[in-house]
Structure 1
């Protein structure tokens, strides 16, 4: 019986069985279309990890543990190059650290990835000499906590050069993720930020060696005439490792084709004309976006000039937020006085001079408080 015929039949002579069936179909459609609520920064995941399973399933990978998952299927025509029948694809989140502060940040990142039930592997790049530290050393204690999260360790020689501040000069090390050719695709996000949702779906971004978001805060306002070439950011990256790309990175850091600047400038050179563009909105927000005036978000909102800034909606829909509130230092260098000065302003009612809208401040403060809570419970405990 065709659908139109069935509907007319139902309208004219609904049997009890048909009534029950129709009610079930309506309830299923309504429940499927109804949007799920998402936690914003002020209520980020503090529940037991099993409670995140349902929330993360909609964008996460089938299990990569236990029975192998075969992404390469000769009959379906996999998008992955070099697929052999029965080959299991390996995906991994990669973190790196060269100091104890960033080691703590990586531990926080891995902890949150596990909390959001990632189905990918976790990989950690760290200096070779950390293997020789005494068990009582602060680094060794944090490494044991990372090990307990079932992380793959990759001891390396730091990739850096003698220029600029140490944190910046050693930031090239994260680009060594391109040399982890045992993985088919990796995601790296800077550990001086927080993830708020499962990111596993990014492993299935269209095939490209490099996928980066726009450095939206450096680019012209969308739609302006004679806009300058767009700058790409490197605080979140989806990479397809290869020996060729890794060798190009090393050459750009230490060889004859050195690039001025640091990791972001290098990735702009490496990906020029070929990088896949990730959406910066929801995936690459800077914390400083909450400190801008309400009419100064065109670069972030980007695609639609008619959009207006809604701090509640942006906080709730963010997958990852990067701490960047210059001149406020990073959150592990805590200064209560500087923090209070840097807080976003509340909008003021011009008639009563009373604070009217403090949502930007609420979400910005909640972001920092979330980091401090994670640090206390994960690294300092």
Structure 2
């Protein structure tokens, strides 16, 4: 009996070793095959991209410079004038959501600026919690109704106010327990494209140009640049210049892109790529593609990784092509995974499930391998200094170089190859959307005056922060402008 048992155990061990060996060999074969294919396609897109029209590079996540966004917008306006191709602005919308009365004034400010100052023709959509209009639960019902009347009066036909039910994280006492309500923006399917804006920010210029990103793009947003170190940036410049053998001067890209836009040619493959070192785990793309396989794959159990890089999409400004399919996926699949998890909110859902940078590369390449000519990319990275600048960066000298070079891995260089830097005044002028983020300082509307929280060189020095007077002056001016504008909300 003992001999039989030993034989059975030995046989089981033999089987397990065999299965494990097959898995390892299979993975090595797949790894080799991916490596060879990736080498081929990298060379293919480098050599052939000028002549390609409907074949998109799946091995990169692309960044779009501000100048290129403007060129696309200008081309669309020019077509309207020359070819009588009327832009249907009713298909576009700016969207805010409000679940807290303290934020409602900011929607009024933003919508009023979009209509009166920046002359947008797009719809202005407010998603407001129906709880705020319930007289049994809302202590500020009269103030809310007056603000809503002001918002609607901006333009009766252009402003759309929708009552919504909050998406609430149960047993979460934090101020962000209703932030998942933001995900309802993905369900605004009556519009072809929407620009979602958090309203704890100041809007300094029109964003209409973002409606005219390439039509195949379903999601575009700036990145969380504030998580990057100087070492990360230097590594990214080195990768582009030496590993990819591409110029780091952004001007060499924008000139080519402008010419292609004028000629009506495809631009995607010519856009600057997001350096792999900023979001992948290794220098080997094939390794990361295998590691990003879904948990349903046998390979996952040996080498799979769900780790999210520190560089993610910010969720305070998003350009979205609403889709029932995407929203159903959110409600039925991704939301249940996160709603009961501690410290997981809207940005986590977007970056861990919907638009995980690592998973994007995997999905793009796998789909491209199957149906090369049917593949179209869905995401773009927006320049963060223009569309996602934090007020905190104006008081952080470590961010100043990034503010001047907000297409990561590339620099704005002059004819002599010297870096072109923006002053803080120029940076604020360049920025179209600045998010109030200065922890531990609160949001500006909790104060009576800028004097209650203003930047002062000596005060900042006592906190260990060495600042030039200009930094405080520029930072204060952003908040002073907002506090002045906020008077529109007086009721």
Q: TM-score, normalised by structure 1?
A: 0.69
SS of residue matched to 2:442: coil
- Aligned match of 2:322: 241
Q: For residue 11 of structure 2, what is the aligned residue in structure 1?
A: none
Match for residue 350 of structure 2 among 267, 271, 277: 267
Query: What SS class does the counterpart of residue 282 from structure 1 fall into?
Result: helix
Q: Distance in 2 between the 1:366 and 1:156 partners?
A: 35
- Residues 245-264 of structure 1, C-alpha deviations (whole Å, 9 max, x = no match): 11222246642465762111
The one of 212, 223, 228 aligned to 1:219? 228
Partner of 2:439: 326
In structure 2, what is the equivalent of residue 123 of structure 1? Answer: 125
1:51-90 matches, cutoff 5 A: 70-71=86-87, 90=91
CA drift of 1:328 comes to 0.6
Tell which deviates more after alignment, 259-268 or 102-111.
259-268
Match of 1:255 among 336, 356, 360: 336
Which residue pairs with 1:99 in the alignment?
A: 100
Q: Work out which of the residue numbers 141, 157, 181 in structure 1 matches 2:189.
A: 181
Deviation at 1:203, TM superposition (A): 0.4
Cα distance 1:344–1:285, how it changes in 2: closer, same or farther (>3 A)?
farther
Indicate the SS of the match to 2:125: strand
Partners of 2:481 and 2:106 lie apart in 1 by 13
Q: Which of 372, 376, 387 does residue 283 from structure 1 map onto? A: 387
Q: Secondary structure at the match of 2:102?
A: helix
Assess, with a 3 A threshold, how the Cα gap between structure 1 residues 283 and 346 changes in structure 2: closer, same or farther: farther
User: 8 Å contact 2:220–2:320 — kept in the other structure?
Assistant: yes
Contact 1:69 1:89 in 2 (8 A): no
1:332-347 counterparts in 2 under 5 A? 332-334=445-447, 339-340=453-454, 342-343=455-456
Uncovered stretches (5+) of structure 2, i.e. residues with no partner:
1-72, 237-276, 280-308, 361-377, 413-418
Report how far residue 317 of structure 1 moved: 1.2
CA apart distance, 1:275: 2.6
Matched residue SS, 1:223: helix
Q: CA RMSD in A?
A: 3.4
> Does residue 411 of structure 2 align to residue 304 of structure 1?
yes
Distance in 1, matches of 2:144 and 2:132, equals: 7
The reply to whether residue 360 of structure 1 matches residue 365 of structure 2 is no
**Cα distance, 1:202 vs. partner?**
0.3
Alpha-carbon distance in structure 1 between the residues aligned to 2:411 and 2:431: 18
Which SS does the other structure have where 2:318 is aligned?
Answer: strand
- Equivalent pairs, count: 297
Is contact 1:347–1:358 with CA below 8 Å preserved after alignment?
A: no
Q: Is this contact kept in 2: 1:222–1:298, CA < 8 A?
A: no
Alpha-carbon distance change, 131 to 69 in structure 1, aligned in 2, over 3 angstroms: farther
Structure 1: gaps (5+ residues) = 1-56, 72-86, 349-354
* Larger Rg, first or second structure (1 or 2): 2
205-214 or 251-260: which moved more? Answer: 251-260
Q: Do the aligned residues in 1 keep the contact of 2:94 with 2:195 (CA within 8 Å)? A: yes
Residues 177 and 59 (structure 1 numbering): CA distance in 2 closer, same or farther, change over 3 Å? Answer: farther
> Could you tell me how far apart the structure 2 residues matched to 1:122 and 1:59 are?
24
Counterpart CA distance in 2 for 1:180 and 1:344 is 46
Q: Secondary structure at the residue paired with 1:160?
A: coil
